[in-house]
Chain A
Amino acid sequence: MRIVVCIKEVLDPDAVNNYALAGRLEIGEDGKSLTQTTIPQLMNGFDEQAIEAALRIRDAGVECTLCVVSVGADPSVPLRHAAALGADEVATIAPPSPEPDSHTVAQLLAGYIRSLGGADLVLCGRQASDDDQGVVPALVGELLDMPVVAIARAVEQPASGTLRVTRVTPDGDEIVETSTPALVTISNELGDPRYPTAASKLKARRVQPKALTAEELALEADALAPRVALTRQFVPTVQGNCEFITGDSPAELADRLVARLREDKLLA
């Protein structure tokens, strides 16, 4: 079977968090981009887990070709990481504008998958940790007319062609089945992704991702037109008015905190 994993390179969310909390997150002159060059780029965490999900299917003995694709300016670092993990093909597609919207990205990803002759399984992260949208996978699923199973912790491909997916719902796990081709989005509950071995990392250093353009994917400008435009980005203020409880012992601290919470009628 052919598995395509869609990965996005994002700014390290922990670093963004630290700068934001320190009040030092910089927004560029365009009023919308984060410009700190000290914030590293990483593969979106859920996407790393989507690759892991694919590798687990391979580990289970299912013969599969694994293609990993990313739309971005130069995502060769995460793509080489994917190659080191065992991807058979890694590909990058240059977006028509620096900030493509979800529709544009989905068109490019769907175009790539079509150019391969389709896929039995498309794996995505549940959401990208920069925009938090969780929209691209559903759009790809619609474009390719695939059923979409969102927010999964486990994906099994038994011989039958039926896909069995465990979804993480607010009420606990739900097990669903669907036929392939299908698209599944992966959540953190899948567990830690593996690391490539030193030898495979070394070998992957020479891998050049296949570079594709919209024209090569036979996509019309019309299809690529964005629907949503980012116009502004800002850091919301967090108003801090913390009253620190003091005391000489844990017991005293606890008593004073409980007393304050009772005064505020937050506790009975």
Chain B
Amino acid sequence: MTTNAVVVCTWSDARGDVLEETEAALTLARRTSTALGTDFTWLVVGPLPAEAVDIAQRQGVASLEHIEDPKAAAGQADGFVEGLTQYCAERTPKLLLFSQGFDVRLVAPRLAGRLGAGIVMNAVDIEASDDGALNVTASAYGGDTRRVYALAGTGPALVSLLANAVLPERVDGAPSPTVAPVAVDLASVEERVRVIEAARTEGPRLEDAEIIVAGGRGLASPDNYKLVEQLAEALGGLPGASRPLVDEGWVDSSRQVGLTGKITRPGLYLAAGISGASQHMAGCAAAKSIAAINTDPDAAIFRYARYGVVGDCLEILPELIRAAKQGS
């Protein structure tokens, strides 16, 4: 049995995109395990997806493990924490790497508490030093700064990797991983938090959108958000928003882009009346291209933008809607 391994932990999910985010974590884990000279394991909680073996192979995973117990599923925090505690007691991994998502924000820190383990969230990179210590670079102040944390000690270190921080890289010619189920005993676990009304997933997710048109406080009134929605529709994209619009109740919180909202990665992010605060950019800086409309030529958003339009978005958005509908 392997000990001291670098373990990437993910849940399997009906959505393929969860696996896509996983590949970034697998790439970073492979680099770390190579630097440390330790084994590289991918632990999937839930049924093993059909493509997992292929993904594991192209990421150079040596051993693919899975915990089938439905009590450890995503959202079952007590079951997951207990299951992983048992796993860590048996395997004593060196590093447990998560791909940061909504559930991870809760269960990874809880697991750290249960294990008494060091943890770093919002990680963007890991470097292993010669003495085996892990130096984790993480985003702080909404992205204004990066902090480097040293995780020393014996117990497992827990790290949660920010979405879009690492580009997945494949390896050629790696052998097929060994595949093995891992048994955990969750018979005595009773979830203490009960879901009374589940969140209803509504339509396509911002995280998957190729085009996002986002509006900010520069729209000046809730009515004007319609322009953002109309342009998004005309371009075949989705509408997003900065946090003040959510705080003011103009739009639903599922539209919020940023540090505490959605972390997106569209081809095009068109921002209208958004200043470009770091906490907002944390959710869209990974876009391939950002186009920004702002009355202030010194607005921070132009630092991140590929294209800038200095002007009143209330005048330009209607014209963009017209131009978009005209076709090429």
Contacts and interface: CB of A to CB of B under 8 A. Distances in A.
A245 B307 contact: yes
A238 interface: yes
9 contacts: A13-B279, A138-B113, A188-B260, A189-B253, A191-B247, A230-B149, A234-B148, A261-B289, A268-B236
Interface string B161-193: 000000000000000000000000000000011
B119 interface: yes
Interface residues of B, number: 90
A8 interface: no
Interface stretch (A15-23, A203-211, A213-221): A15-23
A188 B194 contact: no
Given A127-B260, A175-B197, A253-B316, A142 B114 contact: yes
Given A16-B141, A172-B199, A172-B200, A135 B278 contact: no
Interface of B: 77-78, 102, 105-106, 109-110, 112-114, 116-122, 135, 138-153, 192-202, 205, 207, 211, 235-236, 243, 246-247, 252-254, 259-260, 262, 267-268, 277-279, 288-289, 291-292, 297, 300, 302-312, 315-316, 318-320, 322-324, 328
A242 B155 CA distance: 46
Contacts of B198: 174
A159 interface: no
Contact of B196 (A101, A131, A176, A258): A176
Contacts of A230: 147-149
Contacts of B145: 16, 20, 25, 34, 233-236
Given A169-B102, A171-B202, A242-B302, A227 B117 contact: yes
A145 B106 CA distance: 15
Contacts of A149: 193
A31 to B, nearest CB: 9
B139 A132 contact: yes
A169 B103 CA distance: 9
Contacts of B122: 132-133
Contact of B144 (A17, A243, A260): A17
A175 B192 contact: no
A207 to B, nearest CB: 30
A86 B120 CA distance: 35
Interface in A167-196: 167-179, 182, 187-189, 191-192
Contacts of B292: 242
Contacts of B324: 258, 267
Interface majority SS (helix, strand, loop, mixed), chain B = mixed
Q: How large is the interface on A (under 10, 10 to 19, 20 to 34, 35 or more residues)?
A: 35 or more
- Which of B122, B253, B267: most chain A Cβ within 10 A? B253
Contacts, number: 258
Given A17-B278, A267-B324, A172 B114 contact: no
Interface string A116-156: 00000000001101111111011111110001111101000
Interface string A225-268: 00111111111101011111100001101110110111010111
A147 B120 CA distance: 21
Given A143-B113, A250-B311, A179 B149 contact: no
A148 B77 CA distance: 9
A189 B200 CA distance: 18
A231 B118 contact: no
Contacts of B316: 250, 253-254
Contact of A245 (B105, B236, B308, B312): B308
Contacts of B194: 176-178
A201 interface: no
B144 to A, nearest CB: 4
A232 B116 CA distance: 23
B323 A254 contact: yes
Given A231-B148, A257-B320, A174 B195 contact: yes
Contacts of B192: 147, 178-179, 182
A261 B113 contact: no
Nearest to A31: B148
A150 B292 CA distance: 33
A79 to B, nearest CB: 23
A153 B256 CA distance: 14
Contacts of B323: 251, 254-255, 257-258
Given A242-B303, A257-B291, 15 more contacts: A17-B277, A20-B278, A131-B147, A133-B120, A169-B102, A171-B202, A173-B253, A227-B117, A228-B149, A231-B148, A240-B303, A244-B308, A253-B311, A254-B320, A261-B307
A83 interface: no
A102 interface: yes
Contacts of B291: 257, 261
B141 A130 contact: yes
B140 A170 contact: no
Contacts of B78: 147
A233 B151 CA distance: 15
A148 B252 contact: no
B7 to A, nearest CB: 18
A164 interface: yes
Contacts of A240: 302-305
Contact of A17 (B106, B114, B135, B142): B142
B79 to A, nearest CB: 13
A231 B135 contact: yes
B128 to A, nearest CB: 14
Nearest to B147: A233
Contacts of B262: 170
